[in-house]
Structure 1
Amino acid sequence: MDASLQLVPWAEDDFWLLLRKNEPVMTEHLGGPETEAKLRERHQRYLALSAREPAAGRVFRIVAEGESMGTIAFWERVWKDEEVYETGWGVLPEFQGRGLAARAARAVIAHATAHGTRRHLHAFPSVDHAASNAVCRAAGFVLLGETEFEYPPGQWHTSNDWRAVLA
């Protein structure tokens, strides 16, 4: 585990981070900014997920150098008839380029391995999102190929299917 980076479970006071992650530069590959009402719904979903048993998944703040720098999460889903976890992250613009997302992804892999019940963790960055694909590579995911992926609901795009084995 990376001692200089912490994954802190999502808490009531973390809504400000959703507001920051809703900026256009942060949502370019995710369908664009959401309304504040949608963000409040998302915040409640994050709180509910993090209140469940650890094997259900978690949402975390990425903390390094005493500062909250972004988020990372993993959650249950079925993919190609297999029960797996999916992961996603977002590092605030002023902290990008430091390897934080890859370090956080490795920490999530370790957490899901220790607390989870599923064998695989997938990430589905858009094929044209070079930074997120680089994170997957650096974190040890294996590229399975391209797939059509729906996110947000109703918006289909071509993404890469990256998979980590939870040993």
Structure 2
Amino acid sequence: MDIMARLALWQINPPLIEHPPLFTCADADRLLVDRPGTRIKNLFLRDNYGRRHFLLLTRSDKQVDLKALSVQEGISRLGFASDERLSRYLGIEPGHVSVLALINDVQGEVALWLDEDLSAGDDFHCHPLRNTATLLLSRADLLHFAEQTGHQPRWLTVPELG
């Protein structure tokens, strides 16, 4: 899929920055990739039974307390979803996760969670289904994208470790 063409159809035309492959936020730190906007971390989660899946967007430096988040949301033990689940539900490989992967969740099986810490942010860093580029997606465009893909974002106060 040409994600850029699909975004353009929805009148979403963010700046695109090409760069070496970045698999984690730490990779960007090591390469000293300096981009304007809000860096985010994307966590693909599942409940204990593997019946419910969530894509959580949070600050790139935040250490999420999954146990506390599970209790807060009344979900049996949140954990990281497997690579196989990532491929099945979002159609991508590890290291390529971003909100834009929700375009592949045509069945609407993945819930979108946004950390309230991001509520004042803008120009969110998002991989366009590959980790060799970053889009700077405005807050309005991110919400418009979620609407177009049928994902109602839910803003949460995400607990931090420590």
Give the TM interval when normalised to the shorter protein: 0.3 to 0.5
Greater per-residue helix proportion: 1
More contact order relative to length (CA 8 Å, sep ≥ 6): 2
The structure carrying a bigger strand percent of its residues is 1
